[in-house]
Amino acid sequence: MTDTTSTLRRLCWLFPDRESTRTNAKWKASFWDLYSEVAKDLDLTFDRVAPEAVTVDALDVHHPRTYVDGALVTPQDTVFLTSPYTLPYQSVDAFNQFTLYSVLEQAGFYLPHPTMFAPIGNDKLATLLYFKDCPLPPVPTVRVTAGRDLLFDEYMTATADLPYPAFVKPAGWMAARGINLAHDSHDVRGLLSLAQGGDTTLVFQPYLGKGTIDFRVYVVDGRAHTTLVREPGEGAIYPQVTTGAKAYYTEAPAELLPAVEYCAQRLPIPYFCADFLYDGERYWLSEIEPDGMIFCPNPGDPATAEATRTLVLDRFRAYRDQHAVIFHPGLRTPAVLEEASA
């Protein structure tokens, strides 16, 4: 559907150009191609560019001019999508990502992932503290940075009451990288010693059990849109597709809906993912991802593929509609009109 009430013409995703040839091909097939196709359905172009592709001329500070690969873009025609990507091989870009975030916001661009949430959403403990009053309790967490002074063992004060086994993972990585299980304080010391090689911050959490299920709720316009379930694969200690998890869509459990509503109030943006863990007895808030990747859990099933495409479509439509509200407050987008008449 073409939106005739908006001047938005371009979605520009800022993503560090650090992937290997093989990894880039994998991500392209998993979601980048789908994103581009869906954007075209909304009469939008979709570009994935590195942060260094963006330059800003602010010789006239009241009228800055922003360029992507040398081409002029404006707040009225472009939405920038970006979040801090901080896997080890992306660390060289991290500072530029954070500062470019602010530059674009101050230059007047609408950012669906707000700058104020960039550091909160990037650190797992910061996220859980921000949502500490969630109707479903955040997973208890201890945060330790494995820096140069680790040999003084000052981290032991914070980990003294840590129950074992403990789930261990980097505070700011993604895609289930770096996850381990610590069975005692010796494991904690060993994992921190390894993390020290990259000054990596780790979080330690009670291990909820081998059969723990992950519920990812895709939230669009403040409502639960689609729910992805990930069940652990055989022998796996956590539910992740990369470890053989079974993944499929389902209806959001009723117990999650008050928590989703709370998170949407705390983070009033068009789209984000809320992850919850179920240990067989209770649900826990695990993390919030404002730019959570959308992939098809079963590409061979037409209904699942269509549901995935619809989710991406509604996500991008929500970005477009919010852009229209900001830059054209007197105009009403088709989605807004439809909701008003319901």
CATH number for the domain spanning 50: value is 3.40.50.20
Please report, for residues 26, 121, 228, 314, the alpha-carbon distance to residue 19 in angstroms, rounded to integers and kept in the order given: 10, 22, 26, 28
Q: Are residues 149 and 129 in the same domain?
A: no
Tokens 């330690």 map to which residue? 204
Residue 79 is part of which domain span? 10-113
Q: Are residues 21 and 103 in the same domain?
A: yes
Pull the structure tokens for residue 186: 């010796």
Establish if 231 belongs to a structural domain: yes
The CATH number linked to 156 is 3.30.1490.20
Which is it for strands 78-81 and 10-14: parallel, antiparallel or unpaired?
parallel
Establish if 130 belongs to a structural domain: yes
Q: Are residues 125 and 229 in the same domain?
A: yes
Measured CA to CA, the distance from residue 316 to residue 313 in angstroms comes to 5
Q: Are residues 189 and 222 in the same domain?
A: no
Q: Are residues 17 and 68 in the same domain?
A: yes
Measured CA to CA, the distance from residue 78 to residue 73 in angstroms comes to 6
Ramachandran angles phi, psi of 271, nearest 5°: -155, 140
Establish if 243 belongs to a structural domain: yes
**What is the number of domains present in the chain?**
3
Tokens 């330790």 map to which residue? 144
pLDDT in tens, 149-174: 887 888 888 889 999 999 999 888 77
pLDDT at 90: 74
| 246: enclosing H helix or E strand | strand 246-250
pLDDT at 172: 81
pLDDT at 282: 95
pLDDT in tens, 3-34: 445 789 999 999 888 888 998 899 899 999 99
Low-confidence ranges of the chain (pLDDT < 70): 1-5, 242, 330-342
Residues 6+ apart with CB under 8 A from 232: 210, 211, 212, 213, 238, 239, 243, 244, 245
Q: Are residues 84 and 159 in the same domain?
A: no
